[in-house]
Structure 1
Amino acid sequence: MNRFKASKFRHTEARLPRREAWIGGIRAGSFASCGNHVKASCHWVAFNAEAAGVLGIVPLECKDGGKRTVSQLCCHSDVVTDFDFSPFDQLLLATGSADETVKVWRLPESGQDMPSGTGLTLGPGGHSVDLVLFHPTADGVLASGAGKGVTVWDVGQQQPLTALDSHGDQLQSLTWKRDGCLLGTSCKDKKLRIFDPRASPAASQSVPGHENNKDSRLLWMGSSDCLISVGFSQMREREVKLWDTRRFSGAMLTMALDTSPG
C-alpha cells in the first residue's frame, strides 16, 4: 500500500473567467511610480495612469452586465507615487505624491461621478511622499513615508499622531503587522527597523538587511512575528530573507532568486 496519500487537488486547474468579465485594455503604471501600481477595494479598482497626478478608477462590478468605463481621478499636481484603500471604509482612498502632500478621497458609489475636490490634505511635509499605508486595525490611522521619515496620521483630526525617528537614508518600504502593533521599514542605508509607534518614536529593533542599497520591500507573514524582506545581494542578485523579529539579530533564511542585469 502506498504510504503517501494522494492530494485531492492533484487534478485541479485554474479556470479563467469569461472574457466579458475581464478588465482589459488598460495601460496602467508609470516609470515614476515607486509604491502600488494597482489596488482594489470591494467597489473600485485604482491604478496609476500614465498622466502625472492622475489615477484611473474602474468599478469592480458592473450592474446588468454593462460595460466597465474607466474614470479619471485628478489627484495631485505631480506624480502619484503610492495609494491605499482603507480596510474600514471601502470608498476611502489615500494618495501620496511627489508634490509633498497626502490626500484622502471619498469615492462615490458605482455609477456616480468622481469627486472634483479632495476630501482633505495632509502636508506638505518638505519631501516627496513615497509611501502611504492605512493601519490594519485602527480606523482612520494612516502611515506615510517621505524622504527619511515616517509620519503616522489621525485622518479624522487631520493631524500627526507621531513622527518616527529619521532613517539614515531614503525610506524604501513600510509595512504594518497584521495586528497593527508594530511597523517595519526598510531603507537605502541597508537596515531594517521595527517600530512600536505607540511606545516610542525610536526604532525598538534595527538590523543590517540586504547588502545592496537597491530598492527593497518588507512584508509581515500574516499575524506571526516573521518578516519577509525582498532586496538585492552585494552581487546584485535578487534575494528573499526571512526574519524572526523575536530574535531579530540575523536572517533565519536567505534565498537567491536570480541574477539581475547590472
Structure 2
Amino acid sequence: SFRKVVRQSKFRHVFGQPVKTEQCYDDIRVSRVTWDSTFCAVNPSFVAIIVEASGGGAFLVLPLHKTGRIDKSYPTVCGHTGPVLDIEWCPHNDHVIASGSEDCTVMVWQIPENGLSQPLTEPVVVLEGHSKRVGIIAWHPTAHNVLLSAGCDNVVLIWNVGTAEELYRLDGLHPDLIYSVSWSRDGSRFCTACKDKSIRIIDPRRGTVVAEKERAHEGARPMRAIFLADGKIFTTGFSRMSERQLALWDPENLEEPMGLQELDSSNGTLLPFYDPDTNVVYVCGKGDSSIRYFEITEEPPYIHFLNTFTSKEPQRGMGWMPKRGLDVSKCEIARFYKLHERKCEPIIMTVPRK
C-alpha cells in the first residue's frame, strides 16, 4: 500500500544545473525573428545558433569546446537571403546541418572538420519548392539523406537531399499554418499540429491523413505535437481560457486524451523535448525561465510531474543534446543549451546517485 502513496521512479530526483560562467558561449546576438522554433541545434561536435544578420539570414556554428566570448568577427553560415527560421543537424552525420528560411528555400551545409575559419556561403544543396517561408525542417530518423520541410504555404515536402529531388509533396492536407512536425520513431509516418487546432498523423508514402484529432487544444495559440517511442503522441497547447496544457494521445483512439494537465496562464509556446530512453518529456516555454519535466508511464494518470528547473533569465530558445553526446559517467541524462539575449548557457540534468 506504500506504493500507492509514493510512486516508484528512478527520475523523481533528477535535478538541473547550469554550467560555470566560463563554460557558456558569450556575446552572441541571438536572432530576434518572431518564430516559435528552438533557434539552437546541438550535436556531440557543434552547437549551432540562429543569429541576427543584416540583409540576410545567418547562423553560428561553434565547436562545443569553443566556450567563452565569441568574437564579433567569428564567421557564420550566411547563404540565405532572408532570416533563418529553423536549423537541424543531420542525425547520421555530425558535419551536416539543414536550415529553413524566410527566403523560401531549404539549404544543406557541410561544416568543415574543425568548424568555420571563414564565412560559409555555399550550401552543398539548395532545396527549392516552397512558395512561402520555410519554418520547419526535420531529418528522417532512420533513412539517410531524407529531409522533411514545412512552409507557410501549408505544404509539407519530403526531399532526397542527395539528388535535391522532391520525393513527396503533401499539399491540401493542411488548411492553415503548420506549427510543428514530428517523425515517428521508425520514420514510417509523421504527426503535425496545425493552426486549425487539429493534430494529424500522416502516411507520407500514401500522402494520406491516417488519423486526425480536431480541437486537440481549444485555445487559439500555437500547439506542438511529438511522437513518443511507443507511438503515442504528446501535445502542448492552450485551453479556451488561455491556460497552457499538456496532453497524451493514443493514435488508435483520438476521441479523448489519455491524460491532460493544465500548467499555468503564461503565453509562451511550450516546446517539448523527449528522451525515449527514460520516457521523460522536458517542456520549455519560450520566454519562460524554467524547464518542467514529466515522466510518461503506462499507468494512469500517464503524465507524472517530476520537477522544475528554475533560473532567473528567460529563454529565447533551447538546444537539446542527443544522448550520445552526454557524459553518462556523471549520471547525465539530458543537456540543454539555453539561449539568452546575448549568450548560450548549457544546463545539465542529472540523476543523483549515492
Instruction: Identify which range, 97-106 or 119-128, moves more after superposition.
Output: 119-128
Q: Residues of 2 paired with 1:137 and 1:31: CA distance? A: 31
CA distance change for structure 1 residues 138 and 12 in 2, over 3 Å: closer, same or farther?
A: closer
SS in 2 for 1:247: coil
Q: Residues of 2 paired with 1:93 and 1:12: CA distance? A: 31
SS in 2 for 1:259: coil
1:117 to 2:101 alignment = no
1:254 to 251, 257, 260: 260
Structure 1 unmatched runs, 5+: none
SS in 2 for 1:20: helix
1:89 to 2:96 alignment = no
Mapping of residues 201-216 of structure 1, within 5 Å:
201-208=207-214, 209-216=216-223
1:41 to 2:54 alignment = no
Contact 1:35 1:82 in 2 (8 A): yes
Contact 2:61 2:116 in 1 (8 A): no
Contact 1:106 1:115 in 2 (8 A): no
CA distance change for structure 1 residues 20 and 157 in 2, over 3 Å: closer, same or farther?
A: same
CA displacement 1:97-130 (0-9 Å, x = unmatched): 1111000000111154243311110014211111
RMSD (Å), alpha carbons: 2.8
Which residue of 2 is the match for residue 129 of structure 1? 134
Q: Residues of 2 paired with 1:96 and 1:89: CA distance? A: 18
Which residue of 2 is the match for residue 176 of structure 1? 183
Contact 2:28 2:70 in 1 (8 A): no
Contact 1:59 1:68 in 2 (8 A): no
Give TM-score scaled by structure 1 length. Answer: 0.87
Letter aligned with residue 211 of structure 1: E
Letter aligned with residue 232 of structure 1: F
Letter aligned with residue 93 of structure 1: I
Q: Residues of 1 paired with 2:10 and 2:176: CA distance? A: 50
SS in 2 for 1:258: coil
Instruction: Identify which range, 43-52 or 155-164, moves more after superposition.
Output: 43-52
Q: Residues of 1 paired with 2:209 and 2:7: CA distance? A: 47
Letter aligned with residue 87 of structure 2: F
Which residue of 1 is the match for residue 24 of structure 2? 22
Contact 1:95 1:102 in 2 (8 A): yes
Q: Residues of 1 paired with 2:113 and 2:199: CA distance? A: 40
Structure 2 unmatched runs, 5+: 269-354
Q: Residues of 1 paired with 2:222 and 2:246: CA distance? A: 13
Which residue of 1 is the match for residue 329 of structure 2? none
Which residue of 2 is the match for residue 140 of structure 1? 145
Instruction: Name the one with the larger strand percent.
Output: 2
1:99 to 2:109 alignment = no
Q: Residues of 2 paired with 1:96 and 1:109: CA distance? A: 23
CA distance change for structure 1 residues 82 and 9 in 2, over 3 Å: closer, same or farther?
A: closer
CA distance change for structure 1 residues 39 and 211 in 2, over 3 Å: closer, same or farther?
A: same
1:74 to 72, 78, 81: 78
CA distance change for structure 1 residues 194 and 67 in 2, over 3 Å: closer, same or farther?
A: same
Instruction: Identify which range, 48-57 or 181-190, moves more after superposition.
Output: 48-57
1:151 to 2:162 alignment = no
Q: Residues of 2 paired with 1:233 and 1:23: CA distance? A: 37
Letter aligned with residue 173 of structure 1: S
Contact 2:244 2:267 in 1 (8 A): no
Which residue of 2 is the match for residue 220 of structure 1? 227
Which residue of 1 is the match for residue 333 of structure 2? none
CA distance change for structure 1 residues 255 and 150 in 2, over 3 Å: closer, same or farther?
A: same
Q: Residues of 2 paired with 1:165 and 1:192: CA distance? A: 16
Q: CA deviation at 1:31?
A: 3.1
Q: Residues of 2 paired with 1:234 and 1:88: CA distance? A: 41
Q: Residues of 2 paired with 1:184 and 1:154: CA distance? A: 20
Q: CA deviation at 1:66?
A: 9.2
How many residues of Structure 1 are paired with residues of Structure 2 in the alignment?
A: 257
Contact 2:142 2:186 in 1 (8 A): yes
Letter aligned with residue 181 of structure 1: S
- Which structure has more RCO (C-alpha within 8 Å, separation ≥ 6)? 2
Letter aligned with residue 148 of structure 2: A
Q: CA deviation at 1:42?
A: 1.9
2:245 to 217, 234, 239: 239
CA distance change for structure 1 residues 16 and 66 in 2, over 3 Å: closer, same or farther?
A: closer
